[in-house]
Amino acid sequence: MSCVRTTSLLLVVLALAACGSDKRAGPAPSPDLLPFEGLEGTLDIAGGTAHIPVMEEAAKRIMTAFPRIRITVGGGGSGIGIQKVGEGLIDIGNAGRPVKAKEQAKFELTSYPFAIDGVAVVVHPSNSVRELTTQQARDAFAGKITNWKDLGGADAEIHLYGRDEASGTRAVFWKKLLAKGAVATSANVVKSNGAMKTAISKDEHGLGYMSIGRIDDTLAAVGLDGVAATQETATDGTYVVTRRLFMNTRGKPSELAQAFIDYIGSPEGRAIVAAQGYIPLATP
């Protein structure tokens, strides 16, 4: 008997909760979200892993205000972003590097840069090495220097971490810091900026590189040639290993994709970009 009562009570509560949502609890959507009014359908986003927190937060706000819109966010790396959007498998392909001429010739993509981001050498917070010269960094990643004591640290083996082939972070780091030089094949390969952060924050002797926007206090950025690796130095041009973050569409974007791109460039979108650690660009 009491079982039946509990069940019916539960049902009533569920029904009430469901009814409540019709009025969309919470404040009215901000003006920057208004262009999504009346739109519906799915927007598939994938690619650059530095972008993911920004995309997720934007998707969360849009979908909460307009439940008929469905936004999926995948990772994979810049290479996958460009390839998949070029093949038409997704609507927006993110990349942490510009589209290469070869890719452009094949896919005819439109790029929307929306943020500036640096790529920094990172170590475990307990590591005393916080400063390297460009040459030291090159030698370490090439596997010529294998002990932290040769970089001014403790006597311990360097555990190298690098990124996968699809990574835009890797492409930028390799071009701008390593000058397209050798990279040790003994380096562990991780698949995203998030994975690099997790790996280095757990490995006391780890050495890797990642998007400055995603660095927090679980790991430490290493300065290069006397310049600290921060978004400020990246913006004013003193830190050189920088890139822009792009969204890419094939040809003209769909209405929903266009609205999303506009939203990332709106004041609210730029606030999200800034809150996730990147320097928003004026208009995407």
Partner 1 sequence: MRRLGDRVGMAWAWGSSLCLLLGLGTLLVVLVTRGAPAVGPGLLFGDTAPGDAVLGRAPVFDGIWPALMGTLALVALACLVAVPIGVASGIYLAEIAPRRRRALLDIGVDMLAGVPSVVMGLFGFGLILLMRRTLAPSATTGLWLSALCIALLVLPYLIRTTQTALDALPESLRLVGPGLGFTRWQNLRHVLLPAAGRGILGGVMLAVGRAAEDTAVIMLTGAVWNAGLPAGLGEKFEALSFRIYVLAAEYRDDMQLAQGFACAFALLLLTCGLLASAHLLQRSLERRWKA
Partner 2 sequence: MSPTSGRTRGERTAELLLAGAAAVSAAAVLGILVFLAILAAPAWQGAAHVFTWDWRPFHGHYGILPMVVGSLLLALTALLLALPVAIGIAAFAHGLGPRRLARIVLAAVHAMTGIPTIVYAFVSAMLLVPFVREVFVHGSGYSLLSAALVLSVLILPTIVLVVHAHWHSMGKELERTCAALGIPRGRAVLRVLLPLSRRGLLTAAVLGFARALGDTMIALLLSGNAAQVPGSALDGFRTLTAHIALVVATDTQDAAYASIFAAGLILLLVAAAASLTARRLGAGNGRTEAARAAPR
Residues that bind partner 2 (CB under 8 A): 76-77, 79-80, 82-83, 87, 102-103, 106, 157, 159, 161, 164-166, 174, 180, 183, 185-191, 202-203, 205-206
Binding mask 199-228 for partner 1 (x = CB under 8 A): ------------------------------
- 179 is a site residue for partner 1 (CB under 8 A): no
For residue 182, the surrounding DSSP H or E stretch is none
Q: Enumerate long-range contacts of 140-146, CB under 8 Å, 24 or more apart.
A: 140/207, 141/178, 141/183, 141/184, 141/187, 141/207, 142/178, 142/181, 142/182, 142/183, 142/184, 143/182, 143/184, 143/186, 143/187
Stretch that binds partner 1, among 150-158, 167-175, 185-193, 259-267 (CB under 8 A): 185-193
* Closest to 142 (Cα-Cα) out of 190, 194, 97, 177: 177
Q: Which partner, partner 2, partner 1, none, binds residue 18 by CB below 5 to 8 Å per kind?
A: partner 1
Q: Name the residue nearer to partner 2 (CB basis): 55 or 99.
A: 99
Tell me how far apart the alpha carbons of residues 270 and 54 are, in angstroms, rounded to a whole number.
10
For residue 202, the surrounding DSSP H or E stretch is helix 193-202
Tell me how far apart the alpha carbons of residues 84 and 44 are, in angstroms, rounded to a whole number.
10
Instruction: Output Rg (C-alpha) for the chain, integer angstroms.
Output: 22
Q: Which partner, partner 1, partner 2, none, binds residue 17 by CB below 5 to 8 Å per kind?
A: partner 1
- 189 is a site residue for partner 1 (CB under 8 A): no
Q: Least Å distance between CB 206 and partner 1?
A: 14
Tell me how far apart the alpha carbons of residues 68 and 156 are, in angstroms, rounded to a whole number.
54
Q: Least Å distance between CB 246 and partner 1?
A: 20
Give SS3 for 188: strand
Q: Least Å distance between CB 69 and partner 1?
A: 9
- 73 is a site residue for partner 1 (CB under 8 A): yes
Q: Name which position in 33, 36, 51, 52 contacts partner 1 (CB under 8 A).
A: 52
By CB under 8 A, what part of segment 83-142 binds partner 1? 87-90
Q: Name which position in 6, 8, 20, 37 contacts partner 1 (CB under 8 A).
A: 20
Cα dihedral sign, 263-265-267-268: positive
Given a contact cutoff of 8 angstroms between Cβ atoms, the answer to whether 109 and 85 are in contact is yes
Interacting residues toward partner 1 by CB under 8 A: 13-18, 20-22, 25, 42, 44, 46, 52, 56, 59-60, 63-64, 67, 70, 72-75, 87-90, 190-195, 197-198
